[in-house]
Amino acid sequence: MESCNFIDFMNVFKPWLNADYIRKAGMDDNGNFRLQLVDGGIKNYRIDNCTQAQLKDVVAMLQSNGIPVEKLSD
């Protein structure tokens, strides 16, 4: 699992933010994200220093770009 701060995560994440690259995403309340890519790859991230509001913003951004988001168990 890759660990990063919220701003770094968003800078890496935004160019890939569409259903052409990301099949689906999962997240938990602790800042752990799993991205399932259309090529079958999986990327796991632990996002440090983020608030619940920021996590909700990421979920909303994913969903508004057609990417389903599931709740991961903590």
2-71 maps to CATH 3.30.720.210: yes
Q: pLDDT of 25-39, one tens digit each?
A: 998 877 788 989 999
Domain ranges of the chain: 2-71
Categorize the per-residue pLDDT at 74 as very low, low, confident or very high, splitting at 50, 70 and 90. Answer: low
Q: pLDDT of 4-19, one tens digit each?
A: 777 887 887 788 787 7
Residues ≥6 apart with Cβ < 8 Å to 69: 24, 25, 26, 27, 59, 62, 63
**What is the DSSP-derived secondary structure letter of residue 17?**
-
Q: Of all residues in the chain, what percent carry a pLDDT higher than 70?
A: 99
Total-model pTM? 0.77
Average model confidence (pLDDT) for the chain? Answer: 84
More confident residue, 1 or 71: 71
